[in-house]
Amino acid sequence: MEGVKKNRIFIKTYGCQMNFHDSGLIEDGLLKNGFDKAGSLNDADIVILNTCSVRDHADHKIVSEIGRLKGDKKIVLTGCFAKQIKLKRENGVSVNNADIPVDYCFAPDEILSIPEILAGNFEKNYNGDINDKGFKEEFKATAKDDYQNFNLIEEYFYNKKVDSGFATIKIIEGCNNFCSYCIVPFVRGKERSIPFEIIYNSAKRYADKGVRELLLLGQNVNSYLSPEDDKKDFSYMLESLTKINGIKKIKFLTSHPKDFNDKLIELIASNDKISKNIHLPVQAGSDRVLSAMNRGYIRRDYLNLIEKLRKKCPDAAFSTDIIVGFPTETKEDFNMTLSLIDEAGFDFLFGFKYSPRPFTKAFEFKDDVSLEEKKERLGMVFEKQKKVFSSILNSLRGKRLNVTILAVGKGKNPAEFKNGILFKGEGLNDRTVYIVNKDKYKNLRIGDKGIADITYIENNRLYGEVI
């Protein structure tokens, strides 16, 4: 290679936790195949963009990133946007190649092939004629489902370096729900659960290496079902993982309200190791909109579920996703979303303006809520949420809770430690609690556990004192 090292890779990841997880798989494979990690994007010979496509905005961000990258770097596109482009081409939808001049394009279910293909073709492509920066035909041949390549997934978990007490494990890939606005079932494919044994063994290995907290990932974790044994569902898996020596906490993302059954509720309520900080996307508050979104539940079902969970797990912390401005959403429909936010009482929410996505059912609907109106509705959602959260926090004043210290002193995020606030902790169903700097706390360390009283609330934060 003319004395110049040309195999330094840099992976830039967009979007959800699934993508960050996938980037870990890609990086491991590349390092194993003789590639090196570049210190920064500028130093890289090959840039891998692991992309998101869930909203229009995500697409734009990636196209402009590619525009900035044009030059002598090789560009490898993967993730959901890559699949969107592939699908468009397969379906004869025109894609402006000039806007997307990448060297390789891999769908999310082809990621485990990336290292081998890049290693095999790297020299040829790097030194060869790459004037045609379109999508190379030869790579269409890679279209197979790498998520069925369980050996590689297992090997990844086996070799994964652990540098903190926290690890993520993907338990299910894809989605069968086809919410009418959502591109995920198209770009990530149908649901495929990873066999129970692989997940269990991976969790055990992680625990042996010092992991104490696991985050289980999937588009819809509740529909997990081990391909080899239909008794091994999500509840079975959760319970089994809590029994692993060393594992102290298990969180999971994302749950679908329609699949959150009583067995799971009972398990969460009865098992201390399972987080009661639950992300439960509702999307909208009006039954008419929920039905048009194909969510499979009505408002009452959702609120009943929250009520049931709260009854069994008092102080549970809920978060949600909301979409405003779905086609035909009237002001009355939208007001139902606002009132649902009030009634459900979320600790946190992610709010989005509806954006039409190719291939989805809603793409055929007229996007009839104006951008101005969407912006206004989103602002109202955040405003409402601020008030709701503030009243939740106020209701927690005076509570005594178990707290784990997450950060100490002027750590990673100095803004959070100003004015003598010394410790950032986690307690009361994984809510963040700030422990006031007092001499008597000076020996606290990350990972320490203590009992704290919530003494005051300021700027939507809980402050406590260790007792």
**Using CB under 6 A as the criterion, which residues of the chain lie in contact with ligand SF4 when the complex forms?**
175, 177-179, 182, 184-185, 219-220, 256
Choice between 200 and 260, CB closer to ligand SF4: 260
| Amino acid residing at 136 | K
Provide the minimum distance between the beta carbon of 329 and ligand 5AD in the complex, in angstroms, as a whole number: 12
Provide the minimum distance between the beta carbon of 283 and ligand SF4 in the complex, in angstroms, as a whole number: 7
Provide the minimum distance between the beta carbon of 355 and ligand 5AD in the complex, in angstroms, as a whole number: 4
% helix / strand / coil in the chain, to the nearest 5?
40, 20, 35
Choice between 9 and 324, CB closer to ligand 5AD: 324
Q: Are 300 and 320 in contact (CB under 8 A)?
A: no
Provide the minimum distance between the beta carbon of 288 and ligand SF4 in the complex, in angstroms, as a whole number: 18
If one asks whether residue 306 binds ligand 5AD (CB under 6 A), the answer comes out as no
Report how far residue 149's alpha carbon sits from residue 111's, in angstroms, rounded to the nearest whole number.
11
Report how far residue 166's alpha carbon sits from residue 170's, in angstroms, rounded to the nearest whole number.
14
Which residues from 265-294 bind ligand 5AD, rule CB under 6 A?
A: 281, 283
Choice between 188 and 232, CB closer to ligand 5AD: 188
The single residue among 21, 299, 357, 431 that binds ligand 5AD, judged by CB under 6 A, is: 357
Provide the minimum distance between the beta carbon of 177 and ligand SF4 in the complex, in angstroms, as a whole number: 4
Report which secondary-structure segment, H or E, holds 252: strand 249-253
CA nearest 49: which of 14, 25, 95, 89? 14
Among ligand 5AD, ligand SF4, none, what does residue 355 contact (CB within 5–8 Å per kind)?
Answer: ligand 5AD
Which residues from 118-177 bind ligand 5AD, rule CB under 6 A?
A: none
> How is residue 329 written in tokens?
């959403």
Provide the minimum distance between the beta carbon of 185 and ligand SF4 in the complex, in angstroms, as a whole number: 5
Report how far residue 87's alpha carbon sits from residue 32's, in angstroms, rounded to the nearest whole number.
30
Report how far residue 348's alpha carbon sits from residue 238's, in angstroms, rounded to the nearest whole number.
24
Provide the minimum distance between the beta carbon of 3 and ligand SF4 in the complex, in angstroms, as a whole number: 48
Choice between 113 and 180, CB closer to ligand 5AD: 180
The single residue among 354, 417, 434, 463 that binds ligand 5AD, judged by CB under 6 A, is: 354
Choice between 117 and 175, CB closer to ligand SF4: 175
Provide the minimum distance between the beta carbon of 323 and ligand 5AD in the complex, in angstroms, as a whole number: 5
Distances (CA, A) of 382 to 20, 350, 431: 27, 9, 19
If one asks whether residue 323 binds ligand 5AD (CB under 6 A), the answer comes out as yes
- What is 13-76 written as a DSSP string? E-SSHHHHHHHHHHHHHHHHTT-EE-SSTTT-SEEEEEE--SSHHHHHHHHHHHHHHTTTSEEE
CA nearest 445: which of 165, 249, 250? 165
The torsion angles phi and psi of 85, rounded to 5 degrees, stand at -65, -45
Provide the minimum distance between the beta carbon of 359 and ligand SF4 in the complex, in angstroms, as a whole number: 12
Provide the minimum distance between the beta carbon of 417 and ligand SF4 in the complex, in angstroms, as a whole number: 36
Helix (H, G, I), strand (E, B), or coil: what is residue 319? Answer: strand
Among ligand 5AD, ligand SF4, none, what does residue 29 contact (CB within 5–8 Å per kind)?
Answer: none
* Residue range at the interface with ligand 5AD (CB under 6 A); choices 83-91, 241-249, 347-355, 395-403: 347-355
Choice between 58 and 393, CB closer to ligand 5AD: 58
Among ligand SF4, ligand 5AD, none, what does residue 220 contact (CB within 5–8 Å per kind)?
Answer: ligand SF4
The single residue among 355, 374, 378, 427 that binds ligand 5AD, judged by CB under 6 A, is: 355
The torsion angles phi and psi of 347, rounded to 5 degrees, stand at -75, -30
Choice between 145 and 416, CB closer to ligand SF4: 145
Q: How are beta strands 317-324 and 421-427 bridged, if at all?
A: unpaired
Provide the minimum distance between the beta carbon of 252 and ligand SF4 in the complex, in angstroms, as a whole number: 14
The single residue among 36, 116, 239, 321 that binds ligand 5AD, judged by CB under 6 A, is: 321
- CA dihedral of 186, 188, 193, 197, whole degrees rounded to 10: 170
The single residue among 122, 135, 157, 181 that binds ligand 5AD, judged by CB under 6 A, is: 181
CA nearest 262: which of 234, 237, 294, 297? 234
Among ligand SF4, ligand 5AD, none, what does residue 185 contact (CB within 5–8 Å per kind)?
Answer: ligand SF4
Whose tokens are 């070799």? That residue is: 159
Cβ burial of 293 (10 Å; 0-12, 13-18, 19+) is buried
Among ligand SF4, ligand 5AD, none, what does residue 226 contact (CB within 5–8 Å per kind)?
Answer: none
Report how far residue 280's alpha carbon sits from residue 270's, in angstroms, rounded to the nearest whole number.
19
Quick one: DSSP state of residue 337? H
**Which residues in this chain contact ligand 5AD in the complex, by CB under 6 A?**
54-55, 181-182, 281, 283, 321, 323, 352, 354-355, 357
